[in-house]
Amino acid sequence: MGSLAAEKTVTGWAARDASGHLTPYNYTLRKTGPEDVVVKVLYCGICHTDIHQAKNHLGASKYPMVPGHEVVGEVVEVGPEVTKYSAGDVVGVGVIVGCCRECHPCKANVEQYCNKRIWSYNDVYTDGRPTQGGFASAMIVDQKFVVKIPAGLAPEQAAPLLCAGVTVYSPLKHFGLMSPGLRGGILGLGGVGHMGVKVAKSMGHHVTVISSSAKKRGEAMDDLGADAYLVSSDEAAMVAAADSLDYIINTVPVHHPLEPYLALLKLDGKLILMGVINQPLSFISPMVMLGRKSITGSFIGSMAETEEVLKFCVDKGLTSQIEVVKMDYVNQAIERLERNDVRYRFVVDVAGSNIDDAPPV
């Protein structure tokens, strides 16, 4: 991997424009700083956010962009002040790779809410270089934003926990929704949603999947262990389920009406928005007033919660349900994810794809 003093040239797969099509791209990483960990990427999950970013759904994308923020890798080098990791450790990196360390969220250890957060890609690091994500042979990351993957978790299984897993765990913990017996809804059974079913079931909740079609009913009930399944267009079933849920984790990634789901909540129920939707959502006020309901949101989880969810999954024997693909399949995987054709997360076998050998385009 080279010496601490040298910049490292790596190959990633980058989007060049809002088509979001990824092709090989060579770039240099910063010299390893005192608190930096050099990570050889083994696996990286494909999150729907990678599509939002690569295709400029939020209007702030910069190219070339190497996406990927569910990264599991092996430590190959550490800076002289790194205390937490050493070469050979299997580690994870998620959505955030920097924060100010001084603001209220940083001091409260919820650094994901720091207004000076640095995203793992499509951002600029403190040295002025663009950040680039995990669809690459290596990343250099400050040790604060690295977690150890515990023994007992396969690295490819662990990858989706670094975004999808912690994204459902964090709000359940924060909003006091970890008690057994709660009735939860998971709206949208994709990468985040399937981890929602697994985590909520492991907390002892009664879990209802609310889906746009009946296609996933059998898998949701038989494989993931959901207790009930609602098709959102089935008006009679939606009416029958009114006032029944303590919370809904809403993972739908496109504009949609909120009122059908607010109606499913009990008194004091919470609709927790997860989907990245760049258009106003709407509802009439009595839908929340007459039931003291809340509409809230949540953004990934802290580094501490990321460590917690990894341990939670080991303790409960939870894994993600994944389809492992090679890097040269990444564009097809993205297309399939967009048309809702994956059960439930693609994970790219980056190290097994020999991406350093591909000629850059």
Ligand X SMILES: O=C/C=C/c1ccc(O)c(O)c1
Residue choice 141, 252, 330, 333 for contact with ligand NDP (CB under 6 A)? 252
Report d(CA 85, CA 244) in Å as an integer. 46
Helices 164-174, 191-202: crossing angle, 10 deg rounding: 50
Residue choice 131, 137, 251, 321 for contact with ligand NDP (CB under 6 A)? 251
> Is residue 18 involved in binding ligand NDP (CB under 6 A)?
no
Residue choice 90, 93, 106, 186 for contact with Zn ion (CB under 5 A)? 106
The helix (H) or strand (E) run that includes residue 345 is strand 345-349
Are the C-beta atoms of 67 and 61 separated by less than 8 Å? no
Helix runs in the chain, H state only: 48-54, 104-107, 155-158, 164-174, 191-202, 217-218, 235-240, 259-262, 286-289, 303-316, 330-338
Q: How many CA within 13 A on the CB side of residue 224?
A: 32
Q: Is 202 left (phi over 0), alpha (psi -120 to 50) or beta?
A: alpha
Instruction: Kindly state the smallest distance separating residue 123's Cβ from ligand NDP, in Å.
Output: 16
> Is residue 275 involved in binding ligand NDP (CB under 6 A)?
yes
Hey, which residues between 155 and 184 contact ligand X (CB under 6 A)? 163
Phi, psi of 36 (to 5 degrees): -90, 150
Structure tokens at 31: 């010299």
Residue choice 49, 61, 122, 232 for contact with Zn ion (CB under 5 A)? 49
Hey, which residues between 86 and 145 contact ligand NDP (CB under 6 A)? none
- Measured from the CB atom, the residue of 58 and 254 that comes closer to ligand X is 58
Pick what 100 binds: ligand NDP, ligand X, Zn ion, none; C-beta below 5 to 8 Å, kind-dependent.
Answer: Zn ion
- What mask, x for binding ligand X by CB under 6 A, covers residues 263 to 292? -------------x----------------
Residue choice 8, 52, 198, 270 for contact with ligand NDP (CB under 6 A)? 52
- Measured from the CB atom, the residue of 100 and 178 that comes closer to Zn ion is 100
Instruction: Kindly state the smallest distance separating residue 320's Cβ from ligand NDP, in Å.
Output: 11
DSSP SS3 for 50:
helix
* Torsion 49-53-54-59 (CA) sign: positive
> Is residue 163 involved in binding ligand NDP (CB under 6 A)?
yes
Are the C-beta atoms of 350 and 41 separated by less than 8 Å? yes
> Is residue 65 involved in binding ligand X (CB under 6 A)?
no
Instruction: Kindly state the smallest distance separating residue 163's Cβ from ligand X, in Å.
Output: 5
Pick what 353 binds: Zn ion, ligand NDP, ligand X, none; C-beta below 5 to 8 Å, kind-dependent.
Answer: none
Q: If DSSP states are collapsed to H, E and C, what string results for 130-165?
A: ECCCCCECEEEEEHHHEEECCCCCCHHHHHHHHCHH
Could you please report the per-residue DSSP string of 65-118?
Answer: B-----EEEEEEEE-TT--S--TT-EEEE-SEEE--SSSHHHHTT-GGG-TT-E
* Torsion 25-72-345-274 (CA) sign: negative
Strand partners, 283: none
- What mask, x for binding ligand NDP by CB under 6 A, covers residues 297 to 326? -xxx--------------------------
Instruction: Kindly state the smallest distance separating residue 186's Cβ from Zn ion, in Å.
Output: 16
> Is residue 47 involved in binding ligand X (CB under 6 A)?
yes
Residue choice 41, 114, 189, 288 for contact with ligand NDP (CB under 6 A)? 189
- Measured from the CB atom, the residue of 114 and 241 that comes closer to Zn ion is 114
Q: Rule CB under 6 A: which residues touch ligand NDP?
A: 47-49, 52, 163, 167, 188-193, 211-213, 216, 251-254, 274-276, 298-300, 337, 340
List interacting residues with ligand X (CB under 6 A).
47, 49, 58, 95, 163, 276, 299-300
